[in-house]
Copies of this chain bind each other. A is one copy, B any other.
């Protein structure tokens, strides 16, 4: 890679690990943030991910990144971003990969936002200067970073209020992760659309017996 970008990945789960590993493999400087600086999963990830990989608190990561991926659990996202700190996030692009899944009402999960709000909007309201772009939340993490994992063409969605930020995220999706069909749904309120798709995704996962699938918008 000729140009290395400083990226924060918030969250040490499978999504954060996978996105962080992909970005590090592309030569970017990735800092994985978690609640404590001594998170064992983050340390194990960094040891595997190689030279560009660092770890730290949510605040350390957000301060280090030019672009921030929110890979925390949906019900922990706002707290994680508070811990990251508004000053460290200010005016940055935040790619919100999380979904507002509510496991408290039994399986399969429902959405704690209902369907007159979305996690993407909640984050945007809490951090008005941040350029929140909802993306990648409609596929499993292996497909997120490697669209060619599935045969043929299939679709990724972006939602966000800032056109420039969305254009940058589109470039990340196409150039780094191999996405070919990226549909801009509109402002961040359209995150209600892709988050509301999760209840269908979950049932397809059950019906198909695999999480390796995605939708292609045929038109």
Chain A residues with CB under 8 Å of chain B are 105, 110-111, 114-116, 150-154, 157, 183-186, 190, 192-194, 196-204, 206-208, 210, 212-219
**A–B complex contacts, Cβ < 8 Å, 25 sampled:** A110-B114, A110-B115, A110-B116, A111-B115, A114-B115, A115-B115, A115-B199, A150-B219, A154-B216, A183-B208, A185-B206, A186-B206, A186-B207, A190-B207, A192-B199, A196-B199, A197-B197, A197-B200, A204-B217, A210-B219, A214-B217, A214-B218, A215-B215, A215-B216, A216-B218
Q: Are A185 and B207 in contact (CB under 8 A)?
A: yes
A43 vs B202: C-alpha distance in the bound complex, in angstroms?
Answer: 43
A213 vs B181: C-alpha distance in the bound complex, in angstroms?
Answer: 14
CB neighbours (8 Å) of A152 from chain B are: 218
Q: How far is the CB of A170 from chain B (nearest CB, A)?
A: 14
How many copies, total? 2
Q: Among the interface residues A186, A201, A202, A218, which one has the most CB atoms of the partner chain B within 10 A?
A: A218
* Residue on B nearest A153 in the bound complex, by CB: B218
CB neighbours (8 Å) of A213 from chain B are: 217-219
A201 vs B110: C-alpha distance in the bound complex, in angstroms?
Answer: 19
* Residue on B nearest A219 in the bound complex, by CB: B213
CB neighbours (8 Å) of A183 from chain B are: 204, 207-208
Q: How far is the CB of A130 from chain B (nearest CB, A)?
A: 22
CB neighbours (8 Å) of A111 from chain B are: 115
Q: Are B185 and A193 in contact (CB under 8 A)?
A: no
Q: Are B199 and A193 in contact (CB under 8 A)?
A: yes
CB neighbours (8 Å) of A105 from chain B are: 116
A219 vs B215: C-alpha distance in the bound complex, in angstroms?
Answer: 9
Q: How far is the CB of A114 from chain B (nearest CB, A)?
A: 6
